[in-house]
Structures are given as C-alpha cells and as structure tokens.
Structure 1
C-alpha cells in the first residue's frame, strides 16, 4: 500500500463512520419520528449509545487526519514517499482499530486499547516526520 493510498482509505473510513451514525437518522426525520433538527449540536444526545460512539470515532478521525495527510503530501512534494510508505499503512490500520474499539464500547480494556491505538498512530507519524527531516 502506498502512502497516498493510505490517506485515501483513511478518508474513506471517515466517510463510512459518518454514514454509520447519519444514515439511521434519515428515515426518522423523513417520517417525522424525530424533528429534523433533533441532532443539532448543544442538545442532549438522543441517538443510541453505539451511534454516539460512532460519531465520536468519526470526530476522532477528523482530529488526526490533517496531520497525517499533511505529512504524506509533504513527503510527496519532497519526492520522499519511499521514506514513509511502509509506515503510512500502519497509521491507517491503527486508526481503523481505534475506531472499531471506540464503537464497540467503553469498558476499561476498550478505552485502554483505544488509547494504545491512538498513541501508535501518533508515534508512527512522528517517525514519518523524523524520516523526512533527518532520515
């Protein structure tokens, strides 16, 4: 997998997460079961907990995507994609694992695993930056 492919798949994963929590809302709004604005920010959550966790997993992806994508783009501009290519896929894998664990629940073990997958991503991107600057 190339670094560019990892960025594209990461973006696709974010879209899938958005659909997981957004699609169930459409029939509820269209049938009048819930008001169309019932999911607006700053309101009490009304979604099932698993959908709330899917939304949170999606927002977590957004928080880190820009940094990951920026590092890959800069590597491309530097003509140094080979320096980070082997790591980019693992950033994606750790992100997907973090999201799946995030959606699955909130036990101590799940939160610990989620944090571990997050730290793996951060460390991998830092190694990518190191390789581009000093490697």
Structure 2
C-alpha cells in the first residue's frame, strides 16, 4: 500500500475512533440513566468540556477528510502519487497532533499548538492541490 493510501486509511480510522468514543460516552450515560438518548446536543458541551472538545475534534476530521481523500485519490488515479506520498503521513501526524491537543486542553497554549498543527495540514494540502492542478494544466 502506498504511503498516501495508508495515510487516507489512518485518517479515516482516526475519524471513526473519535465517533466510537462519542458513541461510547453517550451510550454509557444512557445505559446508566444519567441521560436519555435524545438529550444530547450536537456540540457535546452539554455533557462536559471534554465531550465538547471531542465532538469538535470529530467534526474537524469530518470537515477535512473529504479534501484530503480527494487529493490522495486524484494523485493516485492520475499517476501523480509522487506528489502526495512523501508528505501524506505528515498530514496525518499533524491531524493526530491537532486532535490530541484538542482533546487534552482548551487552554490558550493548547489552542496555539492546535492552530500550528492545522497550519501544517493546510500548507501541505494546498501544495498538493496546486501541484496537481498545475500538472493537469500541462
């Protein structure tokens, strides 16, 4: 499996892991009768600050996974995996860093670090998109 496809799989697995964690947290509250199944807000901050951060981290992954996936698939199908392969795992590492930081704290220092991880992802994805577009126009 190419590094880009492995990265796409890891990114999807991270997104699924966050979803499973939200489900487990909420299921526990429902099973222990602390909440009814229809008593959760989508943002999750009605449960705890951690739950709010967990829901937002999951939403961040859901928002960015399609862009990442389309770029990886476009590169793979067009024969330009050489554009994404060298840095695909770095994008996932930055996503994991952003997610772990998001889950760990809502303090200013953590927010700055999270922002740095996001900038790394944006820079790499933008570079991929530009190079793929440039190659398509040649």
The equivalent residue for 1:5 is 6
Task: Please list every run of 5 or more consecutive structure 2 residues that lacks an aligned counterpart in the other structure.
Answer: none
SS of corresponding position for 1:24: helix
Distance 1:45 1:55 in 2: 8
Task: Please list every run of 5 or more consecutive structure 1 residues that lacks an aligned counterpart in the other structure.
Answer: none
The equivalent residue for 1:100 is 100
Note the 1:1-135 alignment, pairs <5 A.
2-41=3-42, 45-134=45-134
Off by >2 Å, runs of 4+ in structure 1: 30-33, 130-135
Distance 1:118 1:92 in 2: 11
* Structure 1 residues 106 and 45: alpha-carbon distance in aligned structure 2, compared to 1, 3 A threshold: closer
Q: TM-score, normalised by structure 2?
A: 0.88
Contact 1:94/1:121 (<8 A) preserved: yes
* Backbone CA RMSD of aligned residues: 1.8
Q: TM-score, normalised by structure 1?
A: 0.90
Contact 2:29/2:35 (<8 A) preserved: yes
Question: Could you give the per-residue CA deviations for residues 41-94 of structure 1, whole angstroms, max 9, x where no partner exists?
Answer: 48x842121121111101011111111100001001101112210111111000
SS of corresponding position for 1:121: helix
**Number of corresponding residues:** 134
SS of corresponding position for 2:38: coil
Distance 2:99 2:42 in 1: 21
Distance 2:41 2:49 in 1: 16
Deviation of 1:131 (Å): 2.8
Deviation of 1:29 (Å): 1.2
* Structure 1 residues 54 and 45: alpha-carbon distance in aligned structure 2, compared to 1, 3 A threshold: closer
Distance 2:108 2:25 in 1: 28
